[in-house]
Amino acid sequence: MHKLGRGHRDKLQQFITITGASEKIALQALKASDWHLEGAFDFFYNQPQLKTFTDSRHLEELYNRYKDAYVDMILADGITVLCNDIQVDPQDIVMLVLSWHMKAGTMCEFSKKEFIEGLQSLGIDSLDKFREKIPYMRSELKDEQKFREIYNFAFGWAKEKGQKSLALDTAIGMWQLLFAEKQWPLVDHWCQFLQARHNKAISRDTWSQLLEFAKTVGSNLSDYDAEGAWPYLIDEFVEYLNENGIIQNGLINDSSLKW
């Protein structure tokens, strides 16, 4: 057992808490980045996951536990049981991350292929391993690149089959779920604006560009370029903010805003 200084031990503990990684892996990442936490995170997330051997018989058993009685798929009821087993609320955002790993085509459904290959990629073949993996999946939302991938995946996952756009109510629910992770100060105004002024489905382009907008345009909107390539709806939103005095002289004027 290594003798670690207090600083190093604190960092190790912090890394394990955030990523859910094992102590061995955490130690490896921190050493590779010379004990800088941010570097360690980069190292950890960019490492191809070691293909942990998974017992395919156990995976079959897991699948059969949750699959629908009549359809060779896991449907809403099966997912409810799964959430119960791994002690996760079905509304928890970590279920979105899980769906992303499984490359699920649509919400509340996992095909057999999606389920088994997804769990294999996560190195999960038992409920114990599944529970252990939850913190790791939750921590992936901290990584900017993965958040973007998950965010854009969410659009296709949440929309109705055969539709090109995402229903407004669903979109609003997804945004509230996702931006709880990102702390975009205008998310509530955005949702109110959509219900007041738009009241229609959301296009994929608007969906993906909103994330860029949230990231690149300051919350005071002083650097917003209405002549730029932002989607029309975002132009309207900026107008709405200015019209309603929410943004005045480049300052947020909303006492109810929580930081």
Partner 1 sequence: MERKIIDFDQGWDYMQKGITKLKRILEGAPETPFSSEEYMMLYTTIYNMCTQKPPNDFSQQLYDKYKDAFDEYINTTVLPSLREKHDEFMLRELVQRWLNHKVMVRWLSRFFHYLDRYFISRRSLAGLGAVGLTCFRDSVYMEVRVNARKAVIALIDKEREGEQIDRSLLKNVLDIFVEIGMGEMDQYEQDFEVHMLEDTADYYKSKAANWIEIDSCPDYMLKAEDCLRRERDRVSHYLHSSTEQKLVEKVQQEVLVIHANQLLEKENSGCHALLRDDKVEDLSRMYRLYHKIPKGLDPVANVFKQHITAEGAALVQQAEEASSNQTTSGSGFQEQVLVRKFLELHDKYMAYVNDCFMNHTLFHKALKEAFEIFCNKTVGGSSSAELLSTFCDNILKKGGSEKLSDEAIEDTLEKVVKLLAYISDKDLFAEFYRKKLARRLLFDRSANDDHEKCILTKLKQQCGGQFTSKMEGMVVDLTLARDNQLKFEEYLRDNSHVNPGIDLTVTVLTTGFWPSYKSFDLNLPSEMIRCLEVFKGFYETRTKHRKLTWIYSLGTCHVTGKFDTKNIELIVPTYPAAALLLFNNADRLSYSEILTQLNLGHEDVVRLLHSLSCAKYKILIKEPNNKVISQNDIFEFNHKFTDKMRRIKIPLPPADERKKVIEDVDKDRRYAIDAAIVRIMKSRKILGHQQLVLECVEQLGRMFKPDIKAIKKRIEDLITRDYLERDKDNPNTFRYLA
Residue numbers of the site for partner 1 (CB under 8 A)?
164-165, 203-206, 208-209, 212, 227-229, 231-232, 235
Q: Measured from the CB of residue 212, what is the shortest distance to partner 1 in angstroms?
A: 6
Least distance between partner 1 and beta carbon 152 (Å): 11
Return the structure tokens found at 21.
């990684």
Least CB distance to partner 1 at residue 231 (A): 6
In terms of C-beta distances under 8 Å and separation of at least 24 residues, what long-range contacts does 116-121 make, across chains too? 116/56, 116/59, 116/60, 116/63, 119/54, 119/59, 119/62, 120/54, 120/59, 121/49
Q: Which is nearer to partner 1, 36 or 215 (CB)?
A: 215
Q: What is the spatial distance between Cα 29 and Cα 59, in angstroms, rounded to a whole number?
A: 29
Name residues whose C-beta falls within 8 Å of residue 90's C-beta, 6 or more positions apart in sequence: 79, 80, 83
How far apart (Å, rounded) are the C-alpha atoms in residues 88 and 80?
9
Task: From 82, 187, 99, select the one nearest 137 (Cα to Cα).
Answer: 99
> Residue 206: enclosing H or E segment and its boundaries?
helix 204-216
CB of 197 to partner 1, least distance (A): 14
* Strand partners of residue 248: 251
Give the distance from CA 128 to its chain's centroid: 23
Question: Nearest approach, Cβ of 200 to partner 1 (angstroms)?
Answer: 12
CA angle, 102 as apex, 157 and 60 as ends, to 5°? 130
- Closer CB to partner 1, residue 71 or residue 232? 232
| Residue 5 CA to its chain's centroid (Å) | 35
Alpha helices in 47-126 (DSSP H): 56-66, 76-85, 94-102, 112-122
How far is 51 from 68, CA to CA, in rounded Å? 29
Q: Which is nearer to partner 1, 14 or 209 (CB)?
A: 209
Shortest distance, position 64 Cβ to partner 1, whole Å: 39
- Closer to partner 1 at the Cβ: 120 or 208? 208
- The residue among 136 and 151 lying less far from partner 1, judged by its C-beta, is 151
Q: How far is the CB of 201 from partner 1 (least distance, A)?
A: 10
Choose between 142 and 204: whose C-beta lies nearer to partner 1. 204
Nearer to partner 1, 10 or 212 (CB): 212
